Amino acid sequence: MSHLPAADLGPALGRGLLSFPVTHFRADLSFDEAAYRDHLAWLSRYEVAGLFAAGGTGEGFSLTTAEIDRVVRAAVSEVDGRVPVLAPASAGTATAVEQARAAEAAGADGILLFPPYLTEAGQDGLIEHVAAVCGATSLGVVFYNRANAACGDVTVARMAERCPNLVGFKDGVGNIETMTRIVARLGDRLTYIGGLPTAETFAPAYQALGATTYSSAIFNFVPEFALEFYRAVRANDRGTVQRHLREFLLPYLDLRDRHKGYAVSIIKAGLAAVNRPAGPVRPPLTGLTDAELAELTGLVNKIA
Ligand SMILES: O=C([O-])C(=O)C[C@H](O)[C@@H](O)C(=O)[O-]
């Protein structure tokens, strides 16, 4: 099975917007592969630089390893080589290693390495975690800096030195000094990805820090708007960026911030709002109320 060489993955991702599709569930919360594939086929009309299957927006944290494998295989087959497909490696080191190997066998082009759950860890432990996963695969690996895997510049430099196939750094923390330090220290060695919830909000600032791309969850349900916003950011078109922030993104954030976990739930609600339902979210997430869904539908209709 041919994969994108690890050295080519980072530059490829840096060239356009990144898609993080939701994972479709039936009413009984089982994976609805047909609906998922249909969604990817619909999104394939729009140009992106990479697709991250079963990411955070894809509720990868609520899937079993066997389900992740099914979702990744469905994505690989549906995308059919048009753009790189990245698969998650998550949880503790042993599970993440297993998932990285399974992703390579499934034909994915890269790995998004999530923070290990629950336990706190020091910087040396995080380096060992990353080295174990990178060492288990020939695929390019993007490190997801967030929660209990937040790293400083020296740590990231040590990871990059030790792991030639560590190709990307996706930031979900939002510390400007740390990002500045990392980009100054590592330069072009890594591709930098804005990866905070509703990454559009931070995109102009992240571009100034060196991130040419970001993960877009809203691309799931307003793909044209998401791409227009991305192009405006890349072109430094501040007028368009600020208008889109005022007209859609800021009221959207107000709705998203009403409840913990809504950063993901609101994406499935958005799909319901555009008549492309993706089913419920799995616990521990909860769905939006009917009134909130109506508000979101109103917002989406304003930019349609
Ligand atoms: O795994 C994920 O879904 C993410 O990394 C985060 C989202 O795509 C985030 O950037 C967003 O909500 O736009």
pLDDT band at residue 2, thresholds of 50, 70 and 90?
confident
With a 6 Å cutoff on the Cβ, whether 20 touches ligand 1 is yes
35 occurs within a structural domain: yes
178 occurs within a structural domain: yes
* Chain mean position to CA 249: 18
ipTM exceeding 0.85?
A: yes
281 occurs within a structural domain: no
299 occurs within a structural domain: no
Residue identified by tokens 């290693």 is 97
42 occurs within a structural domain: yes
Look up the domain containing 132 and give its range. Answer: 6-237
222 occurs within a structural domain: yes
Per-residue pLDDT tens for 45-91? 999 999 999 999 999 999 999 999 999 999 999 999 999 999 999 99
Please count the structural domains in the chain: 1
Using alpha carbons only, give the angle 3, 52, 17 rounded to the nearest 5 degrees: 100
Overall average pLDDT of the 105-118 stretch: 95
Tell me the CA–centroid distance for residue 96 and ligand 1, in Å: 19
264 occurs within a structural domain: no
- The DSSP letter of residue 267 is H
Per-residue pLDDT tens for 223-264? 999 999 999 999 999 999 999 999 999 999 999 999 999 999
What is this structure's pTM?
0.97
Using alpha carbons only, give the angle 218, 222, 225 rounded to the nearest 5 degrees: 100
* Maximum pairwise Cα distance, the chain: 51
Report the 10 Å Cβ neighbour count for 126: 22
Using CA positions, which residue lies closest to atom 2 of ligand 1?
A: 56
- Domain of 212: which CATH number? 3.20.20.70
**What are the Cα distances from residue 236, in Å, to 32, 208, 239, 248, 253?**
40, 10, 9, 19, 22
262 occurs within a structural domain: no
Q: Report the residue among 57, 62, 285 best suited for mutation to probe ligand 1: largest number of ligand atoms under 8 A from its CB.
A: 57
Handedness of CA 206, 208, 214, 219 (dihedral sign): positive
